[in-house]
Structure 1
Amino acid sequence: MRRASLSRRVALFTTLGLAAVWAGAVVLMAAVLWSEQDELFDQQLVETAHALLPLVSHMEMQGIAVEVPQPAVPMDEALLYRLVARDGRVLRQSELAGRAVLPDAADLFPGRVASAPGYRLYATPFNAAGQALQIAAPLAERREAFREGMTGFLLPMVALLPLTWLIVGWVSRRSLAPLRELGAEIAARDGSRLDMIDAGDWPEDLMQIASVVNGFIARLAQALEAERAFATNAAHELRTPVAIALAQTQQMRENATTPAQIARLDALERALQRMRRLVARLLQLARADAGIGDSTQAHDLAVLTRLVVAERAPSEAARLADELPPAPVMARIDPDAFAIVLSNLIDNALQHSPPGSPVRLRLRQGAVLEVANEGRAVAAADLAGLTRRFARHRGDGFGLGLHICQQIVSAAGGRLEIISPAPASQEGFVARVTLTPPVRDH
């Protein structure tokens, strides 16, 4: 599952915080709006009752049977009234008041606003004629007005939430851009690149982090430099003694007379040959870690390939099947570095292929070199780790050859691809090197 980025988390939690504040403000506003609206409607109810009382009382005293005119409205929107005497008798009421369920006239206190299911009521004080007007307004109208007011307020506010998310996201991405730059700078550092990180105009907090990281990089560079220096010095110091010991062993092998002596000297010679190869690999590793590979001039890979093949032992050269184009294949890479890469790929192919099987070298235009060998396929999960230092899959190798190739090819601006099984096959191994062709002038 992909983790959310820091800018996305900042935008999310900031927006959620604003949304929580917004929701609280909406609830508070709704309570205030309902209270103020209720107060306003009650005031209108009181004023209406006092305005109608003289009219209805006069009509009652004059015996006028006609009701106070009202517009034709539904039951839940009609304003109801009734004129009552001091003893609680209803003297006159609107037509719809008789169908509504209202409290008894005697239960309403004059001069007070009361509530009943579905209605808000008010009873005026008794006038000189001993009459009071009780008026009832349906709550449905108030609720409808409240809903319309809240809807008119909420719609634009809800529309602001996505806009807030976008604005906060943009601000957080802009604000955290230096942090992403720092992450990219740290990710770009590896064993071949340990230069200090330039904090530039980053915020002070990130400059402090960059300073701490630079301290780690400096100490790591010193440790790696000491390790490389030790490996290089040890390889240089061992090269001559190993060569002398190997020469003396071979001389002793020629003078040996018994099978036991011959067997022991053969074993010793194999051990010294392995040590010689290890010394050679360590020297190559030191050069690869130093960044050899890139070249300002282009060189013909076909010529270099022929030279490398010609230097192989006859038994090894007999197994090499090369496919080289007649035209030059130019690429920007140091000749010695290319020879190291090709030699290591050939050694790897010879070592991990069945005895006597061919190793195919193919060079084609575009500066692409392929070294293919037969043998069991390598599992996909193991392919990516083959270029790590001291990573061994099968055999008694040192786990340095492909790593050296990877370092040199990367320094030359190319790429090394490990393919297994071989294309259109169920087995085999292919190492493909793609280098940088020279830029053509137009």
Structure 2
Amino acid sequence: MRSIRRTLILTLLSAFTLVMFVASLNGYLSSMNKAEGLLDDHLKQLAVALAQSHSVSSEMFEDYVLEFEDLQGPSMIAYQVIESGRVTRRTSNAPTESWAEIVSGFSYRNFGDFRWRVYALEVSEAKRVVVAERADLRFVVAETVVLQSIYPLLVWLPILALLTWFIVTWGLRPLAHLSLWIGLKKENDFTPIAFEQTPKELKQIVQSLNGLLGRLGSAFQREKQFGAVAAHELRTPISVAKVHIHNLRLSLKEEAELKALDYVDESVGRLQRVVQQMLDLSRTQPEVIQTRFDPVDLNAVVQQVCVDLWGKFDQKSQTIEFHDAATLPKITGDGALLSLLFENLLQNANRYTPQGGQICVETQCLPSGKIAVTVNDSGPGIAEDQRDMVFNRFYRVHHDNQPEGVGLGLAIVGQIARLHHAHVDISSNRLGGAKFTVTFPAPERKQ
């Protein structure tokens, strides 16, 4: 996922680094030119001093040499004093042949395996002074001086990176607070975001979010009211229809008529189950059940659900196994809703497991202290790309021989699990079907 803070920091640091590099390069080249000019001035001053002196041990020459003695030693300087075409004075590292042919001013010459920066001073028609400085050592001296002025910029780069990180983080703090505020909202909380001192850049976002929350809240209330009202209003006519079907069955004798009535009865029964599931969804809202949590024995709850649904398993000749943990701590929850959760899971297993199939239920206490209940079946299983969607309302898994249903059972399971801070995981099992694992938080230990 792309990070705004990381992007800003990297972009700013890249821009700062580029600017510092260009500035340092420009400063380096400019300073090198100035350093070259200063060294040329020193070379010219030395030539003038030698022209005015009468011995090799000129005080100015010694001072000049001592300036570079720590770096490269006096061998970087060479000179000749030429009088009437003859070399009268020279340093030991200067060539014995005369430099009389060198033109006046600055130039470069090669001798003694080195390249030299040479300055020739025409003192008179009979006398000239030629001073040379090794170009490589001269470059080292100039570069050392220049780099000493550039190094502080490199030292400041990490400090600049830290300051950039701090400033960007501080500037994005309102966005982090807004993200935290939104993250703390519960799924049924549609109240507006009260963000104090909202920056101008975030004000439009906060207003849009509050508008969206308002519309979602209204839609949620309408859906909840419609589901509850519709379910309640439909229960009475469905019950009346069931009574009339029963009475009509007693009066009919023809087999064809009874068969047609069976279809009607089956359709009404399916509608009755849908209405009941809609009622279950409406009464599993968080605000309805949060105050009804008590200690619950999951072994007892699951065992009772298995007993209640035994008739359905027997109709399809299915084998149901229940393996309960010997010592299972009680959890805090709503016993009726937990019964509804496992009832829907087992009905789902019964519906998708074929005739003569196998269903296995197990409770266990995990090493982490959490409580897990698994429901395994030998049905067709659930493809990985559909496992995240089966908890959506009215979503049905696609199978060739798809049983009847409207896709509300697992939605009820997911909603009840969230109310108990539990997690439902879907995987495959050794029977070849689906494995539903409901993991509850570790119960709080009594002090």
Provide closer, same or farther for how the CA distance between residues 293 and 305 of structure 1 changes in structure 2, counting only shifts above 3 A: farther
Give the superposition deviation at 1:360: 3.4
Give the superposition deviation at 1:352: 0.9
* Contact 1:360-1:373 at 8 Å conserved across structures: yes
**In 2: Cα distance, 1:51 partner to 1:438 partner:** 96
* Contact 2:377-2:431 at 8 Å conserved across structures: no
- Structure-1 residue corresponding to 2:373: 369
The one-letter amino acid paired with 1:287 is R
- Structure-1 residue corresponding to 2:80: 81
Q: Deviations over 1:26-67 (max 9, x none)?
A: 1232133223322222222222111111335x99xxxxxxxx
* Contact 2:77-2:131 at 8 Å conserved across structures: no
TM-score, normalization by structure 1: 0.81
Note if 1:246 corresponds to 2:238: no
Give the superposition deviation at 1:19: 0.9
**In 1: Cα distance, 2:98 partner to 2:227 partner:** 102
Give the superposition deviation at 1:317: 6.6
Provide closer, same or farther for how the CA distance between residues 96 and 293 of structure 1 changes in structure 2, counting only shifts above 3 A: same
Give the superposition deviation at 1:327: 7.2
* One of 420, 433, 442 as aligned partner of 2:438: 433
* Contact 2:32-2:146 at 8 Å conserved across structures: no
**In 2: Cα distance, 1:102 partner to 1:407 partner:** 100
| Local SS of the residue matching 1:332 | strand
- Structure-1 residue corresponding to 2:350: 350
Note if 1:269 corresponds to 2:274: no
Give the superposition deviation at 1:230: 1.6
Give the superposition deviation at 1:303: 4.4
**In 1: Cα distance, 2:28 partner to 2:97 partner:** 30
* Contact 1:76-1:141 at 8 Å conserved across structures: no
| Local SS of the residue matching 1:298 | strand
Give the superposition deviation at 1:314: 3.1
Note if 1:116 corresponds to 2:108: yes
* Contact 1:409-1:415 at 8 Å conserved across structures: yes
- Structure-1 residue corresponding to 2:297: 300
**In 2: Cα distance, 1:102 partner to 1:255 partner:** 140
| Local SS of the residue matching 2:387 | helix
Question: Which runs of no fewer than 5 residues in structure 1 stay unpaired?
Answer: 60-67
Provide closer, same or farther for how the CA distance between residues 283 and 54 of structure 1 changes in structure 2, counting only shifts above 3 A: same
| Local SS of the residue matching 1:391 | coil
Q: How high is the sequence identity, in percent, across the aligned residues? A: 21
Q: How does 1:94-105 map to 2 (within 5 A)?
A: 94=90, 96-98=93-95, 104-105=101-102
* Contact 2:79-2:129 at 8 Å conserved across structures: no
* Contact 1:291-1:407 at 8 Å conserved across structures: no
**In 1: Cα distance, 2:364 partner to 2:167 partner:** 51
* One of 163, 177, 201 as aligned partner of 1:205: 201
Give the superposition deviation at 1:244: 1.7
The one-letter amino acid paired with 1:52 is L
Q: Give the superposed CA RMSD.
A: 3.6
Name the count of aligned residue pairs.
Answer: 419
TM-score, normalization by structure 2: 0.80
* Contact 1:292-1:334 at 8 Å conserved across structures: no
- Bigger Cα displacement from structure 2, 92-101 vs 327-336: 92-101
Provide closer, same or farther for how the CA distance between residues 285 and 142 of structure 1 changes in structure 2, counting only shifts above 3 A: same
The one-letter amino acid paired with 1:247 is V
- Bigger Cα displacement from structure 2, 393-402 vs 345-354: 393-402
- Structure-1 residue corresponding to 2:408: 400
- Structure-2 residue corresponding to 1:63: none
**In 2: Cα distance, 1:240 partner to 1:376 partner:** 37
Give the superposition deviation at 1:279: 1.0
Q: How does 1:26-425 map to 2 (within 5 A)?
A: 26-55=24-53, 77-83=76-82, 89=85, 92=88, 94=90, 96-98=93-95, 104-105=101-102, 107-108=103-104, 113-117=105-109, 118-127=115-124, 130-187=126-183, 191-200=187-196, 203-294=199-290, 295-305=292-302, 307-309=304-306, 311-312=308-309, 314-316=311-313, 320-324=320-324, 330-364=330-364, 367-393=371-397, 394=399, 395=402, 396-420=404-428, 422=429, 425=430
Give the superposition deviation at 1:362: 3.4
**In 2: Cα distance, 1:369 partner to 1:91 partner:** 107
| Local SS of the residue matching 1:81 | strand
- Structure-2 residue corresponding to 1:62: none
Give the superposition deviation at 1:22: 1.3
* Contact 1:363-1:370 at 8 Å conserved across structures: yes
**In 2: Cα distance, 1:357 partner to 1:6 partner:** 54
Q: Deviations over 1:57-89 (max 9, x none)?
A: x99xxxxxxxx999999998232234255xxx4
